[in-house]
Amino acid sequence: MLAYKFRLYPNKEEERKLLWTLEVCRRVYNRFLELYNEGEHDRFKLQAMLPVWKESDADLRGVHSKVLQYELHQLFANLTSHRGLKERGRKAGKLRFKPSNRFRTITYNQTGYWLEPKNDKFSFLHLSKIGDIPIRMHRTVDGKIKGVTIKHMPSGKWFTYLLVDDGRGLRDFAVIDSAVGIDVGLEHYAVDSDGNEVENPRHLKNALKKLRREQRRLSKKQKGSKNWDKQRMIVARTYERVCNQRDDFQHKLSRHYVDSFDLVVTEKLGTREMIENGHLARSISDAAWNSFDYKLAYKAERAGKLFVQVDPRGTSQECSCCGKLVPKDLRDRWHDCPHCGLSTSRDHNASINILNRGIEKVGQELPELACGHWTATPPSMVVQARWMKQEALS
């Protein structure tokens, strides 16, 4: 299953219908949550209430039935995720009711939509009870559309996500001719086991001056006024630009590694605990390492490559040549081993350790492979990609 993201260009009437549909779906979601909190946990009984509500509420009759049913599905999906957080020992309270500014998506999961091609760039997305909305098709959609999600961004833009089944599935085999270990950081965004260094673009830091100026202007407006709403959009678009720059950078970097290597190894970092450091929290959040790992994971899975995450403990302290511990503080950026004489950057040494741990992990999970001690370029071998279980990303 693939998700394609396209920009929508609704006119004023279509935007009014979209916003009205969002509001109706939000009320239905909150109503289901209220009944669940009162003790009604039977999903089928809750779904059976929708036809009863429609008889007395004309607004519900103006929304496609599958869209309303999906809100119940979303509620139980949120409850399952919330339960999983508690089981993992995370601090989690009760599910909260959705305010209007926190409810931004509607989903047509089975019916009520279709695409009408117009030309090479624009088409129309038909949504039941809403109409035909112009959509910019900047790439070809290969496969059968299984669902459509409409999202209203804080910047005021509208996007659609087309969930597509292309029928190809995953590639069965990957030939491992090359492998790489990647150490992410703040001084350099990434240093790999081949010695390549990728500079940290620091998108948020570069935009802070403008963000602070626009935030000050927003704080001087009367909340709820037209000028306040205009300035809020300016702030949202500035944040959106930072997110787009970060995503573009990570997509290009992850694509480079997946296309260039057959085995990609990174650390499984606990960023939630790392950002508790008040001095580095903003820089770590700006780097978004988990998002980068996620892009590596799905691109590798799609291409029939292997993506592995290893324990990060000691990768910077352990010598990649002799295996002895060489203690270093965070400010020590160079690795000089007194035991074997290896002298290299701290991050390069860590990336080689990450690669070696990844190779060892592949050997443990695939015992039929005779994995040697690879340091940079492993020997050629054939590996079945589906044997490798992807770890859940934090």
Residue 343 forms beta bridges with which residues?
336
| The 113-117 sheet, strands edge to edge | 105-108, 144-152, 158-165, 2-8, 131-136, 122-127, 113-117
pLDDT of residue 98 exceeding 90, the answer is yes
Rounded CA separation 382/371 (Å): 11
pLDDT of residue 392 exceeding 50, the answer is no
Rg from Cα positions in the chain: 25
Among the residue ranges 218-227, 280-289, 319-328, the one predicted with the least confidence is 319-328
pLDDT category at 389 given cuts 50, 70, 90 is very low
Average pLDDT of the chain to the nearest whole number = 86
Residue with tokens 């997946």: 258
Residue range 93-113: mean pLDDT, rounded: 91
Residue 386 forms beta bridges with which residues?
none
pLDDT digit string, tens, across residues 218-245: 999 999 899 999 999 999 999 999 999 9
pLDDT of residue 109 exceeding 70, the answer is yes
Identify residue 371 by its one-letter amino acid code: C
Token code pair at residue 217:
């202007």
Q: What share of the chain is helix, strand, coil (3-state, %, to 5)?
A: 45, 20, 35
Predicted model pTM: 0.83
- Backbone φ, ψ for residue 99 (5° rounding): -75, 170
Residue with tokens 């409850």: 79
pLDDT category at 332 given cuts 50, 70, 90 is confident
What is the per-residue pLDDT for 254? 95
Residue with tokens 């089928």: 44
Q: Which residue has the higher pLDDT, 9 or 326?
A: 9
Secondary structure (DSSP) of 355-383? HHHHHHHHHHH-TTS-----SSSPPPEEE
Q: Is 112 exposed, middle or buried (0-12, 13-18, 19+ CB in 10 A)?
A: middle
What is the per-residue pLDDT for 170? 63
Taking phi over 0 as left and psi of -120 to 50 as alpha, with beta for the rest, 112 belongs to: left
pLDDT digit string, tens, across residues 351-374: 999 999 998 888 766 544 333 334
